[in-house]
Amino acid sequence: MKPKAIDLFAGPGGLSLGLIEAGFDVIAAIEYDEAAGRTYKQNIGNHVFTRDIRELDPSEIKKALGAKGSLQKGEDLALIAGGPPCPGFSLIGRSKISDLIEKGQFQASEDPRVKFLADDRNLLFEEFVKYVKSFQPKYFVMENVQGMESFQYEDEDSIIDHIKSRFQRYEVSEKVLCASDYGVPQDRNRIIFLGYHKKKANPISFEEVEKGRVSKKLTARDAIVDLSRAEPSDSGIVRVRDPGGGRLGKNFRRMMRDWEVWDDKKQERVRSTGGRKTNHISRKPNARDMVLFPLIESGSERFKEDERGTTWDGKRVVYGDLYDGSDSKWDNLAKKFEEAGLSVSTEEVDGKMRHFVEKLGVRKWIMYPSKGESGEGKFVDKFRRMKWDEPSPTIMAHLAKDGYMFIHPWLNRTISVREAARLQSFPDSFDFQKGGGNSKSDMFRQVGNAVPPLLAKAIGETIMQALGNSSD
């Protein structure tokens, strides 16, 4: 009998998928988002509860599992896993809060840390604690953003120390793991909490997890090379020719091929792609994109400063070498815009010369603003072409909005939902479902919020070993 697990804050099922691959029987999952819940049900099983975990008591889950025979009264649960969303702990979340404080929507006299914690989304880890306390599993795994490391809880304790103290009867350790060390073609750093029950379970450590590190990291090219053979379609379904022994790594090839998905009651194959790739949908380039994209080399991240200060902060600059401050460089770029049917102009803004591109005589885009500028029509897109010979940067939930941060390594378009899923290590058979809004946004959000399956698999295999089981 396979060890049983429950997945909290399951999203589309990346964590569940990895645990299943490691040999676990995931008997229940809880996910608030309806689109993600549909994705989970479509690809993994009907055992997902699409509910707000704050309104779903553990006793209700126990009752439902008992009625189905999934977990008998008095039977030990092997694992609870999950990644509570805590937007206030992320660097992006902190930036947004800072903007709200500046706008006067938060009291300036109040410590912003208090405001973070006043947002109940940032306290969802308490729901995770509640479920661990109720089920008393042998092990638990909790994933979160690396930004949590630098967050202080109240006056003294770090948020990490506070969280660890909430798990009574458990020995808890934490460590930042990078997904690319475990076969995921993406540099994604996440803090992982790993706990074992002091009386029920064998000890476990991150030393064992780290034995699963790969010897060579996979690159963006490794992950998406064959998808360049087919342009994204409106339907999101394309057929591509096998890359024929490309550079796909062993573990990555295994995840990319068709695999067996099981429902709750029968061991039955429910999906096979048969060479078809789903969700191959991307943002369509506009006239401006077709001018800029060819000018950005692979991995380009910044352009040069000049005396007018027309540059972005070096840590966030992503334009590539589009403009070095010289008039001749701008003239050449302006000519390309005009050839694409877009009008251009140069104006003085706050004593500095700024270049604009006008669209349909209505909206102006500031092409090279300095940090701190404000005003309607500010150009906020940041261009970055991914490096083809390195792991991808962290795939984000808001990739649909910030797609220009993920320009394809060698094609003049942003990456598709399927390519983002590959970079997260989802197999091609995994079909992301649309929500009620923009379909691409819904699917990108699910992909970006997910735990990479191969990272989850590595952690799951370590726990399986501690349980005395194998993943064969």
| pLDDT for the residue 352 | 59
For residue 199, which amino acid is it? K
pTM check: above 0.75: yes
The pLDDT confidence band at residue 307, using thresholds 50, 70 and 90, is very low
d(C-alpha 67, C-alpha 54), whole Å: 22
**At 355, is the secondary structure helix, strand, or coil?**
strand
Q: Is 355 exposed, middle or buried (0-12, 13-18, 19+ CB in 10 A)?
A: buried
CA atoms within 13 A on the CB side of 418: 28
**At 317, is the secondary structure helix, strand, or coil?**
coil
The pLDDT confidence band at residue 31, using thresholds 50, 70 and 90, is very high
Torsion angle defined by CA atoms of residues 174, 177, 182 and 188, in that order, rounded to the nearest 10 degrees = 140
pLDDT digits (tens, 9 = 90+) for 147-172: 776 666 665 678 888 889 999 999 99
Burial 373-400 (b: 16+ CB within 10 A, else e): eeeeeebebebbbbbbebbbbbbbbebb
**At 229, is the secondary structure helix, strand, or coil?**
helix
| pLDDT for the residue 375 | 38
In sequence order, which residues have a C-beta less than 8 Å from that of residue 128 and are 6 or more positions away?
A: 8, 9, 80, 82, 84, 140, 142
CA atoms within 13 A on the CB side of 16: 30
For residue 44, which amino acid is it? I
6-10, 298-302, 415-419: which has the highest mean pLDDT? 6-10
Question: Is residue 371's pLDDT more than 60?
Answer: no
H helix runs in 303-452, sequence order: 327-339, 417-423, 439-449
| pLDDT for the residue 469 | 59
pLDDT digits (tens, 9 = 90+) for 272-305: 445 567 899 988 887 777 877 777 777 654 333 3
Handedness of CA 112, 175, 79, 132 (dihedral sign): negative
pLDDT digits (tens, 9 = 90+) for 242-251: 544 455 666 7
Lowest mean pLDDT among 22-26, 92-96, 133-137, 194-198: 92-96
Stronger pLDDT, 302 or 424, i.e. the higher one: 424
Residue 191: left (phi > 0), alpha (psi -120 to 50), or beta? Answer: beta
Lowest mean pLDDT among 361-375, 382-396, 431-445: 361-375
Please check whether residue 310 is in contact with residue 446, taking contact to mean a CB–CB distance below 8 angstroms: no
Question: Is residue 105's pLDDT more than 80?
Answer: no
Q: Report, as an integer, the average pLDDT of 370-392.
A: 61
What phi and psi values does residue 170 have, to the nearest 5 degrees? -125, 145
| pLDDT for the residue 446 | 95
What phi and psi values does residue 189 have, to the nearest 5 degrees? -95, 130
151-155, 295-299, 323-327, 385-389: which has the highest mean pLDDT? 385-389
Stronger pLDDT, 242 or 239, i.e. the higher one: 239
Lowest mean pLDDT among 45-49, 328-332, 378-382: 378-382
Looking at the chain, the whole-number percentage of residues with pLDDT higher than 90 is 41
CA atoms within 13 A on the CB side of 155: 0
Torsion angle defined by CA atoms of residues 397, 313, 147 and 390, in that order, rounded to the nearest 10 degrees = 60
* Helix pair 453-467, 14-22: axis angle to 10 deg: 40
Residue 400 has which token pair? 């649909």
In sequence order, which residues have a C-beta less than 8 Å from that of residue 402 and are 6 or more positions away?
A: 381, 382, 396
| pLDDT for the residue 460 | 97
Give whole-number Cα distances, 158 to 130, 147, 161, 175, in Å. Answer: 20, 12, 5, 15
Domains of the chain: 4-217+449-467 (3.40.50.150)
Question: Is residue 111's pLDDT more than 80?
Answer: no
| pLDDT for the residue 458 | 95
Lowest mean pLDDT among 55-69, 82-96, 334-348: 82-96
* Helix pair 58-68, 125-135: axis angle to 10 deg: 50
Question: Is residue 125's pLDDT more than 70?
Answer: yes
**At 354, is the secondary structure helix, strand, or coil?**
strand
DSSP per position, 37-88: HHHHHHHT-S-EE-S-GGG--HHHHHHHHHHHTSS-TTPPP-EEEE----GG
Please check whether residue 140 is in contact with residue 167, taking contact to mean a CB–CB distance below 8 angstroms: yes
| pLDDT for the residue 299 | 67
| pLDDT for the residue 418 | 92
**At 97, is the secondary structure helix, strand, or coil?**
helix
| pLDDT for the residue 47 | 96
Question: Is residue 252's pLDDT more than 80?
Answer: no
Residue 378 has which token pair? 């500010």
Question: Is residue 240's pLDDT more than 70?
Answer: no
What ranges make up the beta strands (E) of 95-164? 139-145
Question: Is residue 101's pLDDT more than 60?
Answer: no
pLDDT digits (tens, 9 = 90+) for 448-469: 999 999 999 999 999 999 998 5
pLDDT digits (tens, 9 = 90+) for 175-192: 999 999 999 999 999 999
Q: Report, as an integer, the average pLDDT of 253-270.
A: 48
| pLDDT for the residue 57 | 96
β-sheet bridge partners, residue 343: 358
Active-site amino acid positions: 86
| pLDDT for the residue 330 | 66
Q: Report, as an integer, the average pLDDT of 300-319.
A: 36
| pLDDT for the residue 95 | 47
| pLDDT for the residue 249 | 67
d(C-alpha 348, C-alpha 226), whole Å: 47
| pLDDT for the residue 323 | 45
The pLDDT confidence band at residue 335, using thresholds 50, 70 and 90, is confident
| pLDDT for the residue 362 | 39
| pLDDT for the residue 385 | 84
d(C-alpha 3, C-alpha 386), whole Å: 40
| pLDDT for the residue 361 | 43
| pLDDT for the residue 189 | 94
Please check whether residue 232 is in contact with residue 281, taking contact to mean a CB–CB distance below 8 angstroms: yes
d(C-alpha 377, C-alpha 387), whole Å: 30
In sequence order, which residues have a C-beta less than 8 Å from that of residue 287 and are 6 or more positions away?
A: 340, 341, 342
User: Across the chain, what does the average pLDDT equal?
Assistant: 76
| pLDDT for the residue 119 | 53
